[in-house]
Amino acid sequence: MNINSRVPVGVLGASGYVGEELLRLLTRHPGASVVFATAESSAGERREGVDLVRIADAPFPRAEIVLSALPHGVSARYVNEARAAGKRTVDLSADFRLSPEAVYGLTEVTRPRVAAAELVANPGCYPTAALLALLPLAQRGLIDQSREVVIDAASGVTGAGRTPKQELLFGEVAEDFRAYAVGNEHRQLPELLTTLAREGGFAGDLVFTPHLLPVKRGILETIHVPLTRLLDRATAEGIYESVYHDEPCVMVMHGGLPSLKDVVHRNRVAIGVAAVANVRRPRLTLITAIDNLVKGAAGQAVQNMNVMLGLAETTGLVC
Ligand SMILES: NC(=O)c1ccc[n+]([C@@H]2O[C@H](COP(=O)([O-])OP(=O)(O)OC[C@H]3O[C@@H](n4cnc5c(N)ncnc54)[C@H](OP(=O)(O)O)[C@@H]3O)[C@@H](O)[C@H]2O)c1
């Protein structure tokens, strides 16, 4: 592809963990050209050969599409500036995930809406892995909504962003493992419930407990699903296979369970299924894995950008 035919892209928050991943992907993308990238405390530095400018100096008119990896609560203002300048946008923060103004960009589920969207709200990392596993069961009425779905998830420390925090110091996290946001109060719970209801007709309860895993990147989720009828592993795997066999970014495990090494540095969710013995009512255990910075953030944003621009969906991505 000729450099002049590349789509000009602007990146907001390019010095954060997610923004840097975006820059890594976009500077190697054959159909995109990064025309500006912003930072706050790191303005004036260079990343991936791109000069970081202050957000007040962002030349929005030069871009055709703007991707925002700004913090939650900061992003909406600048996404709206980009929109006011007539730019299509993908927001990787949580600011528009529950907003009717945006299309929720869970690519495999909302692809036709993403293609036509002016504003895409890129899903959270925990929800992406959980929703791709739960929606096929919810859509088929296989989840017993009189009992809770329980999600126990563990994330590497990049999930918390680069801003220094005492509880994320090496001396605090190394060789330790702990839960946080216990009591079903994590801020991504409404996103999970809203999307399960809208896309899967699920109206039951979900109990979500995240944990901090002392690795740099990657999320593993163990999802306990109460079923309306007995499903053996092969039948459950067959459901996932029928839904995802043409999806390059979803890996259905056959007879095995995923671990982080199946997904890190890849734009992929891996889903494994285990039958549950020794219980009186039917249930299934799902294990899902995702790289929080790739399919959980920057990679899915590029996937959505490709869909919006009519490019091949996995251009510039390793699934
Ligand atoms: N980390 C993940 O796994 C993950 C996954 C999915 C979604 N997300 C979402 O993606 C977004 C970025 O996350 P992150 O982990 O990359 O965060 P981060 O490492 O803290 O990076 C934040 C970025 O925003 C810039 N910034 C901070 N405050 C600003 C302000 N007031 N005005 C302008 N720029 C500002 C920072 O610039 P300086 O560093 O130069 O100060 C940096 O480039 C967040 O909304 C987060 O919720 C994160």
300 and 254, same structural domain? no
Is there a contact between 288 and 132 (Cβ–Cβ < 8 Å)?
A: yes
- Distances in Å between the Cα of 302 and the Cα atoms of 28, 154, 309, 318 are 12, 24, 10, 11
Is there a contact between 219 and 126 (Cβ–Cβ < 8 Å)?
A: yes
Percent of the chain scoring above 90 in pLDDT: 98
For the Cβ of 124 lying below 6 angstroms from any atom of ligand 1, the answer is yes
142 and 272, same structural domain? yes
Catalytic residues: 125
Q: Is residue 317 part of a domain?
A: no
286 and 185, same structural domain? yes
Q: Which of 20, 24, 40 gets mutated to test ligand 1 (max ligand atoms within 8 A of its CB)?
A: 40
**Cα-to-centroid distance, 18 and ligand 1 (Å):** 7
Q: What is the pLDDT of residue 319?
A: 97
For the Cβ of 15 lying below 6 angstroms from any atom of ligand 1, the answer is yes
**Mean pLDDT confidence for 126-148:** 98
Q: Is residue 165 part of a domain?
A: yes
Q: Is residue 103 part of a domain?
A: yes
263 and 287, same structural domain? yes
Q: Is residue 133 part of a domain?
A: yes
Please calculate the CA angle 157-114-38 and round it to the nearest 5 degrees. 50
154 and 75, same structural domain? no
What's the CA gap between 32 and 298, in Å, rounded? 14
Q: What is the pLDDT of residue 2?
A: 53
92 and 7, same structural domain? yes
pLDDT digits (tens, 9 = 90+) for 37-75: 999 999 999 999 999 999 999 999 999 999 999 999 999
Tell me: pLDDT of 3 over 60: no
CA atoms within 13 A of residue 301's CA, in its CB half-sphere: 35
Q: What is the pLDDT of residue 5?
A: 87
Q: Which of 17, 80, 264 gets mutated to test ligand 1 (max ligand atoms within 8 A of its CB)?
A: 17
Q: What is the pLDDT of residue 68?
A: 99
Domain count, the chain: 2
- Mean pLDDT over all residues of the chain? 97
140 and 54, same structural domain? no
Q: Is residue 194 part of a domain?
A: yes
Whichever domain contains 76, its CATH number is 3.40.50.720
**Mean pLDDT confidence for 229-249:** 97
234 and 132, same structural domain? yes
303 and 215, same structural domain? no
114 and 98, same structural domain? yes
195 and 96, same structural domain? no
Percent of the chain scoring above 70 in pLDDT: 99
61: domain range? 3-123+296-309
Confidence label for 100 from pLDDT (cuts 50, 70 and 90) = very high
144 and 284, same structural domain? yes
pLDDT digits (tens, 9 = 90+) for 222-235: 999 999 999 999 99
**Mean pLDDT confidence for 257-267:** 98
Q: Is residue 316 part of a domain?
A: no
**Mean pLDDT confidence for 13-40:** 98
Q: Is residue 189 part of a domain?
A: yes
**Cα-to-centroid distance, 115 and ligand 1 (Å):** 25
The Cβ of residue 232 has, within 10 Å, a number of other Cβ atoms equal to 11
Q: Is residue 99 part of a domain?
A: yes
Confidence label for 4 from pLDDT (cuts 50, 70 and 90) = low
Tell me: pLDDT of 266 over 60: yes
Which amino acid residue places its CA nearest to atom 1 of ligand 1?
159
For the Cβ of 138 lying below 6 angstroms from any atom of ligand 1, the answer is no
Whichever domain contains 129, its CATH number is 3.30.360.10
pLDDT digits (tens, 9 = 90+) for 196-225: 999 999 999 999 999 999 999 999 999 999
**Mean pLDDT confidence for 258-270:** 98
